[in-house]
Amino acid sequence: MSKKVALITGASSGIGKSTAIELNKRGFIVYGAARRKDMMQDLEVKGIHTISLDVTNDESMVKCVNEILNKEGKIDVLVNNAGYGSYGAIEDVPMEEARRQVEVNVFGLARMVQLVVPSMRKNKSGRIVNISSMGGKIWTKFGGWYHATKFAVEGFSDCLRLELEPFGIDVVVIEPGGITTDWGIIAAEKLRDASAKGAYAQAASKTADGMIKNYTGNQMSKPELIARCIGKAITVRRPKTRYLVGYFAKPMVFMKAVFGDRAYDRIIKMFS
């Protein structure tokens, strides 16, 4: 049997890079895709293919997928990992930045799905893994636009699963908790950029400080934990529809489900 081919977006760092390494170890032909190929040279040393991809540029996405299909003849697995967190008070965040957040986290993901599904459907098999977040089920202060995108990924993935099941294509959602990556640092910087002045300045500064402290500490889970979870979701015969994994993911979602919205709001305000 020929090796399965996996395409991973956002493979230049964090979960994406760790997943590329994990799937390579599991015997997949792996293509790591990101805007900056220079940040994936360490993957090339391991025998992982790297390819340029900008999920806000349709020409780039079409070229990426076609290049793999022309070379390999198929894409068996798509891991939609590209994304970022843009924090800031909803009143303050410029609509241009809000649109970019949705463009990267939702529309880029959706377009990649559109591009790989025809070949998967032709082969009557495939697996699409969409990286959501525990933030697709719960919320945090000043994360309005980010959480909106992750809630969208959840609903999108559910509908996609129903549509593709008759063609032998599985859709899996991964919901990471707190992970040791640059995600929290970037989100905190975006928060400061958007809300450093005005009505939300004091609260925003406190939240940003807390995010940086958390994401530079030792309590977060490692990206490799999520990579192993993705590897399992891809290789088991019948995967779960969702995997909630990583630091504080299950407790946070449990608290919200058990205590309700108002009580959850009070808990969030205590720690932000």
- For residue 270, pLDDT beyond 90: no
137 closest CA partner among 53, 1, 2, 261? 261
**Residue 2: active-site member:** no
| Interval 64-109: pLDDT, tens | 999 999 999 999 999 999 999 999 999 999 999 999 999 999 999 9
Give the SS3 label for residue 66.
helix
Give the CATH number of the domain where residue 78 resides: 3.40.50.720
- List 18, 119, 132, 133, catalytic entry: 132
CA 66 to chain CA centroid, nearest Å: 22
* Structure tokens that stand for 34 in this block: 């990101």
- List 31, 87, 146, 243, catalytic entry: 146
pLDDT: is 21 or 219 the higher one?
21
**Residue 222: active-site member:** no
pLDDT at 271: 74
* Structure tokens that stand for 219 in this block: 């309590």
- List 141, 150, 190, 256, catalytic entry: 150
**Residue 132: active-site member:** yes
Q: What is the DSSP string of 41-60?
A: HHHHHTT-EEEE--TT-HHH
For residues 17 and 43, is the Cβ–Cβ distance under 8 A?
yes
Give the C-alpha separation, 42 to 213, whole Å. Answer: 28
Q: How many domains does the chain have?
A: 1
pLDDT band at 1 (very low <50, low <70, confident <90, very high): low
- Domain carrying residue 238: 5-270
| Consecutive H or E run containing 145 | helix 144-164
For residues 28 and 5, is the Cβ–Cβ distance under 8 A?
yes
pLDDT at 269: 86
**Residue 12: active-site member:** yes
pLDDT at 157: 98
Q: What is the mean pLDDT of residues 164-173?
A: 98
pLDDT at 155: 98
Chain mean pLDDT for the chain: 96
| Interval 192-235: pLDDT, tens | 999 999 999 999 999 999 999 999 988 899 999 999 999 999 99
| Interval 126-153: pLDDT, tens | 999 999 999 999 999 999 999 999 999 9
- List 4, 12, 200, 256, catalytic entry: 12
